[in-house]
Amino acid sequence: QVQLVESGGGLVQAGGSLRLSCAASGTIFVFTTMGWYRQAPGQQRELVARIPSMGRINYADSAKGRFTISRDNAKNTVYLQMTSLRPDDTGVYYCNLDQSGRIYWGQGTQVTVSS
Encode the chain (115 residues) as per-residue pLDDT tens digits. 899 999 999 999 999 999 999 999 999 888 899 999 999 999 999 999 999 998 899 999 999 999 999 999 999 999 999 999 999 999 999 999 999 889 999 999 999 999 9
Question: Are 31 and 54 a contacting pair, CB within 8 Å?
Answer: yes
pLDDT of 98 = 95
